[in-house]
Amino acid sequence: MTLTSITAKPAPEETQTCWSCGSMRASHFCEACGKVQPPAPVDYFTFFGLPRKLNIDVALLDRDFYELSRKLHPDLNARAGSQEQEWSLQQSSRLNDAHRVLKDPIKRTEYLLKLEGVELEEQSKSATEQARVTGQLKKQVVPPDLLEEVFELNMQLEELRAQKKMGEDDPALIEEIGRQKLELEEKHEALLEELKKYWKGWDALIDRQLARQAVSQEERKQVRDKMVDLLNRRNYIRNLVRDVSEVLGD
Partner 1 sequence: MSYSDKVIDHYNNPRNVGSMDKSSNDVGTGLVGAPECGDVMKLQIRVNRDTNVIEEAKFKTFGCGSAIASSSLATEWVKGKTVDEALTIKNMDIVKELSLPPVKIHCSVLAEDAIRSAIADWKKKQETTKPVAVEAK
Q: Which residues contact partner 1 by CB under 8 A?
A: 120-121, 123-125, 128, 131-132, 137-138, 140-142, 144, 146-148, 150-151, 154-155, 231-233, 235-236, 238-240
Least Cβ distance, residue 230 to partner 1 (angstroms): 11
Task: State which residue, 120 or 192, has the beta carbon closest to partner 1.
Answer: 120
Contact 54, 224 (CB under 8 A): no
CB of 43 to partner 1, least distance (A): 22
Pick 148 or 186: Cβ nearer partner 1: 148
Secondary structure in 3-state letters for 225-248:
HHHHHHHHHHHHHHHHHHHHHHHH
CA 132-138-139 angle, 5° bins? 155
Least CB distance to partner 1 at residue 224 (A) = 15
Question: In angstroms, what is the minimal distance from the CB of 139 to partner 1?
Answer: 10
Q: In the complex with partner 1, which residue's Cβ is closer, 3 or 146? A: 146
* Residue 213 Cα distances to 91, 186, 202, 210, 216, angstroms: 34, 38, 14, 7, 10
* Nearest to partner 1 of 31, 110 (CB atom): 110
